[in-house]
Structure 1
Amino acid sequence: MRRLFLLISVVLSLIVLGVLTKGLVSGRTDRAPAGGAALVAVTVPALNAKTREGEVLFGQNCAGCHGDNAAGRDGFGPPLVHRIYEPGHHGDGAFHLAAARGVRAHHWPFGDMPPVENVSERDVERIVAYVRALQRANGIN
């Protein structure tokens, strides 16, 4: 009886978690894409020299979890081209702190983000410029 209660509790908890997180990612309808697929569609704008440099740095340091063009990766990390990361909610300083110190999971069910090794403040500046350019091109101001 006790095992049955525990099993039912676990199943119900997973269902509730699924319902609560389903609407976090815009454009998601029924199930999350499999195998690290992008979580959102991203329009990539024309980039200037600074944002192109940020694109390269993002690819080297961030895309493994946050996906190509900051579209997120199912099972790995959230999209940064998302209203949650708009400048009014997560300012540029939040990105600098996250890279330097890591960040505890608080918006998404991906787990904590570790600090990013070997990324300078200048690198993070370029990465943030790139992410902000992507956000603007996708209606996130």
Structure 2
Amino acid sequence: MKKQIWWGAAAVVGLGVGGWALLPQEKEPAQVADALVDISLPASLTTSAQVGKTMFEAKCAACHGINAVGRNGAAPPLVHKIYEPSHHGNESFQRAVAMGVKSHHWRFGNMRPIEGLTRGDVTQIVAYIRELQRANGIN
């Protein structure tokens, strides 16, 4: 009988710990040590933006920083008024990825073309960037 109680208690504790591990953890920080801007993260992302975030982290974050906050000495923040849709439309991002960009707003040097991304991939990355921008009052 004591073994059954002990095993039952162990099972309850195990389920509790397992359930805790599945709960949403704290949001990832929007700021990083070498970030150029401080931002607020949206409460949630659309499915397209979630996919775009994954691709952004794989192909863009090394230069443009986690959550597109820029990296000191590397590349500009994309969550910035300069990149609002009325100044840099979605096609600007497509062209930057496909052909690269000569340095013009910032002094980070030229951006090289990024290989391995389709137009569809960039569309989802742009969805992520636009949702970050909207969460920070950039429309």
Give TM-score scaled by structure 2 length: 0.75
Give the match for residue 56 of structure 2: 58
Instruction: Please tell me the residue identity of whatever aligns with 2:84.
Output: E
Q: Which of 68, 71, 80 does residue 78 from structure 2 map onto?
A: 80
Letter in 1 for 2:41: V
% of aligned pairs identical? Answer: 54
The code of the aligned residue for 2:61 comes to A
Task: Give me the whole-angstrom Cα distance separating, in 2, the residues matched to 1:41 and 1:127.
Answer: 20
Q: Which residue is equivalent to 2:27?
A: none
Q: Is 2:118 the counterpart of 1:120?
A: yes
Q: Helix, strand or coil: the match of 1:50?
A: helix
Count of residue pairs the alignment pairs up: 107
Name the residue aligned to 2:129: 131
Q: Which runs of 5+ in 1 are unaligned?
A: 1-35
Higher alpha-carbon Rg:
2
Structure 1 residue 91, shift from structure 2 partner = 0.3
Structure 1 stretches of at least 4 aligned residues deviating more than 4 Å after TM superposition: none
Q: Deviations over 1:73-106 (max 9, x none)?
A: 0000000000000000000000000000000000
1:51 partner SS = helix
Hey, what does 1:41 align to over in structure 2? Answer: 38
Task: Determine the C-alpha separation between the residues in 2 that align with 1:114 and 1:39.
Answer: 21
Runs of 5+ consecutive residues of structure 2 not aligned to the other structure: 1-32
Aligned partners of 1:48 and 1:128: how far apart in 2? Answer: 12
TM-score, with normalisation over the residues of structure 1? Answer: 0.74
Distance in 1 separating the partners of 2:115 and 2:132: 24
